[in-house]
Structures are given as C-alpha cells and as structure tokens.
Structure 1
C-alpha cells in the first residue's frame, strides 16, 4: 500500500478531499469507503487488492466511530472474503460477523416516533428497556437508547442496557462500548482499561484511534506515541491520527505562548445579562498576562432591555474604565454590524490583536496562551479559532475545524463537513491546523489583517454565517483560518441535539445559508483548490516531523518537491 497517498496522481480527488477533512464520523468514513470501492472497480487487477484493503480499513474505522451500527458491520463482513487470508484478526472478524447477523431493523418504528414527538420520556424509557431486554431487534434499540442516554449523560443506564445485550460472542463489543461511554463521561482510566480489553480479545484493524487518545489524555505520551504511530503505519489514510501524533511529537499539543503585542477583547450582547456576567467572570479569571502589551476589554450592549447595563456597570466599577470599556447602542444592530462597530472604534484600533468572544462562553484559564501558541505556530493565518463544546454536555462538539467536503448527491457545492455532528466528541478533533472556517464565538485576529478584510457582511444580520463568510474571504485572500483544537471553550447556547431550533430560527439560518452559497458560487472551485493545497501541504510537513522522529516506515515527500495533489 502506497503510504504517501496524497502524492499519488491517480488517487481519486474526491476521496482525498474526504480524507483531508478528517477520518472520524461514521457516515463520513462510510462515504470514503464507498469511494474506495468505486476506485477498486475501475483499478487494474494488480491494484484491486490494495483498494479493497483500503475500503475495509475505512469501514473498520467507521465501526470504531459507531460500533453498534449494523449496516457498517454488514458491509465490512461482505468484503472480508475478497481480502487476503489473515488480513484481519480472527477475533475481530468473528465479532463483526456476529454483529452483522444479529443487527436487524424493526418493520416499523412508528410507536417510538409518536412517543418521541409527544416528549413522553417515561414511556420512551420503558419501551426501549422492554425492547432491549426482550425484543428481536435488541441491538437496533440499544443503538437508539445509548445515544439518548449520552445526550442526557445517564451513563449508568447506558452501561446497564449494554450489559443486557452485549454478552457471549458480543462481549468484546461490550468492552468497546464501555470504553466509549467512560471516555464521554470523563473517566479516562476506565476508558483505557476497556479499550485495552478490546485490543487483547478482538483487536481492531490498524488499532483503535481512541485507545491512543485515551492514553494521551492520561499523560502517558510515550505509550500514546507508540499506539498512534502503529495506527498511522498500518493505515496511512488515517489523517486524524496523523494530526494527533504530529502535534504530540512537535509539542503543539501542550504549547502555550505569549501574544507579541497588545490585545483588545471585544464582546457584543443583547438581553443576556446572566450569561454575560458569567462570561466576564471567566474572562477576568483567566491568565491575561500571556500578552506582551496591555489587554483591554470592550463590551457593546445592543440596546438590551434586561439587566445587562447594570451587569456591565458593576464590572466597570470593579475593574476600572482602563480595563473595561462599555459601549451602549440605542438599537440592536445585529451581530455583524456589532463586530464592525467594535473594530471601527478608535480605542480598539490601537491594539495589535483583537479577540471576539460571544456573551455566553466559559473560557478556560489558558485560553489566551493557547491561541497565542496557534499564532506562533501559524503566524500567516487570517484568524485563529478553537474547539467549541456544549457547556451542558461536553460530549457534544459544536464547532471544530470546518472543511469543505464533496457535496452529497443533490447538494450544492458549498458543503462544509459535519464530521463532529455525526456522533459524540471522543477527542478526535484535538489538533492544530489550517482549515476553511472556525466557529466565531472565540477567535483571534491580527488587528491589521482584520482591518484589510472588509469587515463582516451585514446582510447576514441579525446573525449566523457572517463569521463563515468572513473566513471564506480570508481563504481567498491567502490567509486561511487556523484551528487550535487543543483549546476547548464551552458554549452555553445548547446544541440542536439538546434544544432543537424553532421554525423561525431554522428559516433565518436557511436564508443566510442561501446568501452564503450565492455569494461564493463563483469562488467555489478556488476555495476547494486553496483548501486542498493548504491542508495537503500542512499534512506533508507534519509527516516530515513524524518521519524525523522515526515514526514512519517511509521518507515522505518534502513540501517543495513535485506533488500529485
């Protein structure tokens, strides 16, 4: 198998773009596997075995993402006879075959859907418990129940239900599910123990990505390096593992730095007094000394009718006008105009850097040092952003490194991948790299580059997609965003999985997305090419770092050598 697939001129472009976006997300990986299957059909006879092996590894990675999803196991088991003998461990092959045969879909889910629509949680729980313990479609309903349990963080109930079904031949799957639940619950030692049990009884092809992540989270960098490097050597297409390993080797995963200049921190708010108070508390409790110059905070009140003016006044009295500047407008001008107003204020224009924060975020103490580390690693970026987690349920990622992916059939060309929304957050986005867009609730700009970017487009008022549009223009200007996945900021606005949007909110978001698509339709090919080039070159550079550390079996192509992509 050619390890440096991104330099193979015959490698399918669409598949390469999917891989560069990341190798997590069940449906994302299943789609990549389908493209590998198509490539196998059109490949010369001598290359078909390599493509089938690639397809199988991608399906195995998809099964790691969602280990109870029967259709993935069924697709993988159907492919096994076409692989050379011994390609997969017999324990894993037997586990996949058992899951494939036992996972059946009920003829109707109408009753469950009626209970869901009615919001009758008690009857829903009783129904699922009965179906899991006594029904013919126990694996199907367990899959449904585990997702619901994680959404409400009832990990004890999830483990109890899994124990009812995952016995006998499915016992290694019980260990895998237990590891996943422990990781989401924050019990990393238990997660590691369960993943090690899986590796001992039914080792996953290429290894478990989450095993390396759990090991790293527990502080055993040497063992995590061995685990991740083994995975990367066995599956060179696993981009997410390469990104995690490269940051571990280089020290980026631990780095904090200082901003080389002064900083203006800008917030805008409307009728969220309690949220704003909590956000300011986390901001002023954080380490603002990670800046060589002065730090000044600006709060723009968009004509709030609640207690917001009193909250801001109390903070000004506590800190002084030198540290906190209050701006109150007579009307609500919306998010993009508020951003522009703050950027145009003469007092912010004297700063070297400007950070925008939403009024409902919880900042960790080292947020500024982490963003400064990203600025030091990628000084050419147009903006530096971070990972955003749901404050109520950190198992839900709200924002990661947004990347364009080939659109699904029937979709428009501007398709930003939703890998993080295809499951829960198992730390698979803890890396630093250039991307297409970062979530705008906590991001950092060089003041001079922000001034040259023509501001935030007020056609996206009152909010949504103005930050995405701004990021796309940064990409077109040759200064793409950089994602700092080693910084996680908690966002108190609930994710749609916890609080579905109202019809009005959905309509407004859809309208703004149409504006975004129409505005950038003529630039789409350029955006795709720029992202592809930047992401591939970044990965090449990181493969050089891993190669220099002796972690790759081959010497990767240097960034200045001819490339196939």
Structure 2
C-alpha cells in the first residue's frame, strides 16, 4: 500500500455557501460544462468578480487560486488573480508571495530568443539546447524557463528533462523549484516517485495541486480509497469546482471487473488507407486486449501500399471465425467505410459496434468497460471515452464534447451564421484525473466509440456528405441527441491516439478547406429550432447530472467527516 499523504489540513480559501452550484446552474448554465477549460474559467471568474455578490466573489477567488497552483506560468490567469487579490486579499501569504514573484518574472521575459518560435518548430534538440543555455542566465532564469517548462516536461528523454530542470535550481526559490520538480515527477516518473515529491510541497502554497495530483497517482497504484480521500480534501476547499465533484463521484463508485464481451455482443470495426506500418502496430495491440468473444472487422479503404498484407497477417492474431476483412478498390471515405462495415451481416448481428481509429491503442479492458457502461446507461446513443496521447506523459486529446450558447462562440465562417460551438475542455491538458468521470453529453470522440444496435436502427449510420471525414461523428451524435438518446462519456477508460485528430492537425489549405466545408454542411443540416434546442437541452442535462452528483458527494463528504479516525 502506498504512503498516505495527509491532505486533511489544506489551507482554507474563500468558499461560496451551500446551494451555490445549483444557483449557478440556474443563472449561468455553462457552469456545468467544466471548471478546467482555461478560457471558460477566466470568463466565468470575470463575470463573478464583476458582480456584487459574496458567493460569486468567493467562487472566483478559489478557482483563480487553483489556476495558479495548476499552472504557475499562465499569464492571463495570473493577471486576473493579481487583480482579484489587489481588491480583496484572500491568498495564503506564501502563495501570494509566490504569485507576485512569478508575475514579476513573466513581466521581464527577454525577447532576444523568443521561445514560442522554437516550440513551433518542434525540434526537441533545439528546445533542450535553449533550456541548457537559459539555465545559465542568473538574472532571467525563471523568466526564460516559464514559457518552456511545459515543453521541458514533454521532452522524449525524461532523464534529460530532469537534468535540465535541475540546472535552474540555483536561480529559483526552493518552494517553486519543488513544485516544478513534483510536476515533472508526476508526468514522467512512477506514481511512487510522484507521491514522494508531492508530499514534500509547501501545502500553504501548493496544497490543492498536491492533493489533486496525489489522488491520480494513488488511483494508478490501486489505492482508490486514498485517492478518494485526497480528492474530497481538495473539493472541501473548492466545492464549486465541477470536475472535482464529478471526479469524487466516480472514485466513490465500486468498480468490479467487467465481464468480457460475449459472442455476438460486440463487433470491433476499423478501417484504414495507406498506413500499413501504423495499422500493423494498431492491430497487434488490439489483439492483445481483452476482446472476449467480440468480432473484429477490418476494412482496407482502397490502399495502394502493404495494407492488404498487414490485414492478412493480422488475421492470424485473432481467434478463428472472429476476424473479418473487407478490401475495397477505392477510398470511399470515413463515413462510407463505417456504413459499409455496419451493413455486413456479421456486424449487423452484434448488439454493439465499437469503432476504433487505425492509430488507436486502447487499454487492455477497454471493450468490457465500455460495454459495462452501455449496460448501466441503456438510454445512451453512443458511449465514448478519454482520448490521450500515446507517448508520455499521455496528455489529453479529447473528453466529452458539449455546446456553448451561440452568443459565446467566435464566428469563423463569415458567410454562415454559426450556431454550433463545441466546448473542447481538455486538448493538451495533463492527466491529473480531472476528466476521469462518467456523464451524459452531446458528443464523444470518434477515435473510439461504441454504438448500441438499437440506436443504429433508430437514427441510422454516418452521412456520406461529410466525406472523406470530419464532423460525421458529431452529426450522428446530434441526430441521436435530438432523438432522445444522448451520448455517455466514460473518462475512466482511456485510449491512446497516435496522430491526433484531423481537426487539430489540419495545416494545408486543402485540409483547412475540408474542415471548413464540412462545418458549413453541419450548420445547414441543423435548423435554427434544433440548434436552439441542442444547446439548451445539452446544458440542462449536464446541470441535472452535476446537481445529483454534487448532492451525493456532499453527503459522502459529511459521512467521511463524521467517521471517527482510527
């Protein structure tokens, strides 16, 4: 059993009165979206700071304090924190002093070697060289480290990252260096090493960060009870934090081993074109996961490379009669490939169909866990999961997708009146467990999603007007939502994704045009009445789910507090 880090005495912060979350879900339904998306959090905090309301002020102060602990070098959050602290001082003295020190460093970053240009180039050797030289700048060491710290933590060589960070130690206050070292230990070290580093942090400056990170590390070690205790300790200080509530509720649920898929219970479908090497890795990894009696159906979407040989070779990895392959002479796009697989009699005979990207690497028990979630949520139209990078530190790519109200979106299509603005809460975020929850939502990532047969029959497959790809998943999830079958996101299941979404990596003029064109198609498929219904019902659904879990976690916290200690 791992050591029990004690988070029972976290320094208090201003907190809103009971009932605040319910009031916010009524007054500002977007509150239920997330407390972790930076731009949304800043927007909400500005709204609350501008109101003459003590509960709103306390809620904003707490969220801003956490923002600094989570990312000391985020300049917009730091500036708003300084503004709030100047008007109504509330930070523990050591955290206030640390925030002032970092703010002063960020205001004096030399512009002789702009790190943003180095990061954009993606040359990790050049990033390492920048950090090596920056550590020798006694006057501006912290200022030069600030924009590069995230890249340091994600260098391919974790040992090199540690040595580079050590080079800054003489120029940083000890408590700040310890905080940065703890983050590196969490992201690149073992859970045991992370817990040791987190236990050494000054709780008056970094206690919330330590509790949240320790909760995740403890969960990785199988110590769910201790993980829940750490999460509840953080939530006791920040009862307004949406993700902490959802996370605590998920940790409190019993999670017995899920039963493997039975024969005809699930088909796992993949399609690929001209990615032979990557597809070989993907299929080999898939064969090593616990598929039970599931059928695996693979479609070669008009490949001209070695993909046919890869598929033939992969067939030997799966049980006889449990592997089906289809080869098409031309590429029919992602929606067409999915529909083709759905129409195969062997796939149509299965009660669930799971689609995986050809560069997806799911955890061992992914299928049985998603099927268990489907059984627990028979109303769901689609079941999805957390999508993360394959490489360490396995940052988030996607969680649950939901809609902003139209007035909150930034119009990007001047000839179209956009109304569908998706909140992507976690792209690039480190995995501190704050997206490891289960809840209903508008849509989930198409990288890995499970479709119940009844909703396939009710709302149909994928619209080929979105060929070759992009927004076909969201379009189908919207149709399912409007038909009364919202998605369910299970962020306790993680799937590694090697190449990132096509939306995120679109760079060429043709790629961008494809994305923009399909977004226009989506906008014109949804009527004004449907668009209005979507965001309103989506936020109302999130609000009801949050309030139910807020009440349950509050009762749990009171029960834990009343329990005598040993």
Q: With the length of structure 1 as denominator, give the TM-score of the two structures.
A: 0.85
In 1: Cα distance, 2:454 partner to 2:488 partner? 17
| Aligned CA-pair RMSD | 3.1
* Alpha-carbon distance, 1:463 to partner: 1.0
Equivalence for 2:539: 532
> Match for residue 72 of structure 2?
67
Q: Does 1:240 align with 2:243?
A: yes
Residue aligning to 1:174: 177
Return the match for 1:34 from 22, 32, 46.
Answer: 46
Provide the rounded CA distance (Å) in 2 between the counterparts of 1:117 and 1:458. Answer: 35
Aligned to 1:198: 201
Structure 1: gaps of 5 or more residues = 555-565
> What do residues 453-510 of structure 1 show as CA deviations (whole Å, max 9, x unaligned)?
1221111111121111111221111111111111111122256899774443233223
Output the CA distance in 1 between the equivalents of 2:61 and 2:204.
20
State how 1:92-491 maps to structure 2 within 5 Å: 92-106=95-109, 108=111, 112=115, 125-134=128-137, 136-165=139-168, 170-204=173-207, 208-252=211-255, 256-258=258-260, 262-289=265-292, 294-316=293-315, 319=318, 322-406=321-405, 407-410=408-411, 412-421=418-427, 423-491=429-497
CA distance in 2, matches of 1:322, 1:450: 24
Note closer, same or farther for the CA distance 1:225–1:123 as it changes in structure 2 (3 Å cut).
Answer: closer
Q: Compared with structure 1, are the counterparts of its residues 11 and 422 closer, same or farther at alpha carbon in structure 2 (3 Å cutoff)?
A: farther
Q: Residues of 1 paired with 2:206 and 2:116: CA distance?
A: 37
Whether the aligned pair in 2 keeps the contact of 1:404 and 1:416 (CA below 8 Å) is yes
How many corresponding residue pairs?
537
Distance in 1 of aligned mates of 2:119 and 2:206: 37
| Structure 1 residues 214 and 67: CA distance shift in structure 2, 3 A | farther
For residue 549 of structure 1, give the secondary structure of its aligned residue in structure 2.
helix
Offset at 1:409?
5.0
Q: Distance in 2 between matches of 1:64 and 1:393?
A: 22
> Is the Cα contact below 8 Å between 1:438 and 1:481 reproduced in 2?
yes
1:195-223 deviation digits (Å, cap 9, x = unpaired)? 22224352446974223223333333333
Structure 1 residue 552, shift from structure 2 partner: 7.5
Which has the larger displacement, 437-446 or 95-104? 95-104
Which residue is equivalent to 2:9? Answer: none
Which runs of 5 or more residues in structure 2 are unaligned?
A: 1-15, 413-417, 562-566
Which deviates the most, 157-166 or 192-201? 157-166
1:303–1:328 CA contact under 8 A, matched in 2: yes
SS at match of 1:77: helix
CA distance in 2 between counterparts of 1:473 and 1:214 reads 39
SS in 2 for 1:434: strand
Post-superposition offset of 1:336: 0.2
2:82 equivalent to 1:77: yes
- What TM-score do you get using the length of structure 2 for normalisation? 0.85
User: Distance between the aligned counterparts of 2:216 and 2:454, measured in 1?
Assistant: 37
Q: Tell me the SS of whatever aligns to 1:152.
A: coil
Residues 68-94 of structure 1, C-alpha deviation per residue, up to 9 Å, x if partnerless? 22443342233224437xx43222222
Question: What is aligned with 1:563?
Answer: none
Q: Secondary structure at the match of 1:301?
A: strand
Query: What displacement does 1:255 show?
Result: 5.4
The aligned counterpart of 2:61 is: 56
1:187 Cα deviation after fit: 2.2
Deviations 1:353-392 (A, max 9, x none): 1111222222322111211221132221101111111223
